[in-house]
């Protein structure tokens, strides 16, 4: 697949819907030049959430290590030293969080879609995600508070972490017919080699 046609999955999580941030979130991805290829609102089952986070076989270890590192970086003691135990607990919390209300699932398409969307979305923990990113600007949660309260980190959005992850996740949430193929007029300006056709 050409880089310009790269696709990524974005989910506005239940807290994003409840915070009335749907428009704000869509605007961020739209204004950078990405194309919306699919969109729907659903209430997910816990089974689908489990499948979603199991589609990358390394997710459990990566997620556990990231959470433990975040505690250590702040000079705090993680709840456990075992990454698999850590992410196992997180997965149970995530199943509840992600199926607690409607979510909006979207496929965004364009050059470097996966990386660009992750950049705009920001890091996992809102406390430390950059200012200017969606998670950095619109929410204030942390690993510490969410762990104390025994729930998942509320960070408004899911965004695929790699092209491989994106392809698996898109196939999980959307049927083939639901992802649309069409041109956007702005693609001429974003991708056209010579920018010809502007002057009459
Ligand atoms: P990201 O969503 O940034 O790709 P992960 O894939 O590692 O992050 O984790 C998936 C989601 O699980 C996060 O967005 C967050 O909502 C939640 N989460 C991650 N780590 C923890 C944790 N240690 N405690 C509670 N919730 C977590
Ligand atoms: Mg992830």
2 pLDDT above the threshold of 90: no
- 138, part of any domain: yes
What's the pLDDT at 1?
61
Predicted confidence (pLDDT) per residue in 160-169, tens digit: 999 999 999 9
Three-state DSSP class for 141?
coil
- 78, part of any domain: no
> Residue range 2-28: average pLDDT?
96
Tokens describing residue 27: 């605007």
> What is the enclosing helix (H) or strand (E) of 158?
strand 157-159
- Boundaries of domain holding 9: 3-44+99-191
Question: Is the minimum distance from the CB of 80 to ligand 1 under 6 angstroms?
Answer: no
| CATH for 170 | 3.30.70.141
**Residues bordering ligand 2, an ion, CB closer than 5 Å:** 161
Q: Which of 158, 159, 160, 173 is catalytic?
A: 158
| Cβ neighbour number for residue 24 with a 10 Å cutoff | 15
Q: Name the pTM for this structure.
A: 0.95
Predicted confidence (pLDDT) per residue in 114-162, tens digit: 999 999 999 999 999 999 999 999 999 999 999 999 999 999 999 999 9
Q: How far apart are CA 189 and CA 79, in angstroms?
A: 50
- 153, part of any domain: yes
User: Which atom of ligand 1 lies closest to the CA of 70?
Assistant: 23
Give the number of the ligand closest to the Cα of residue 96. Answer: 1
């Amino acid at each position: 697949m050409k880089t310009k046609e790269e696709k990524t999955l974005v989910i506005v999580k239940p807290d994003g819907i409840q915070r009335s941030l749907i428009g704000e979130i869509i605007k961020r991805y739209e204004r950078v030049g990405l194309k919306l290829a699919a969109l729907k609102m659903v209430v997910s089952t816990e089974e689908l959430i489990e499948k979603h986070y199991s589609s990358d076989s390394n997710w459990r270890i990566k997620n556990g290590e990231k959470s433990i590192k975040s505690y250590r970086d702040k000079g705090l003691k993680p709840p456990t030293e075992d990454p698999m135990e850590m992410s196992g607990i997180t997965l149970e919390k995530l199943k509840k969080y992600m199926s607690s209300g409607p979510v909006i699932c979207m496929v965004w398409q364009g050059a470097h879609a996966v990386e660009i969307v992750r950049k705009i979305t920001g890091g996992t923990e809102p406390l430390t995600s950059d200012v200017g990113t969606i998670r950095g600007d619109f929410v204030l949660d942390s690993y510490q508070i969410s762990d104390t309260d025994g729930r998942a980190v509320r960070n408004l959005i899911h965004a695929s972490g790699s092209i491989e992850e994106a392809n698996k996740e898109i196939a999980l949430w959307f049927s083939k017919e639901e992802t649309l193929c069409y041109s956007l007029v702005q693609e001429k300006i974003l991708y056209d080699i010579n920018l010809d056709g502007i002057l009459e």
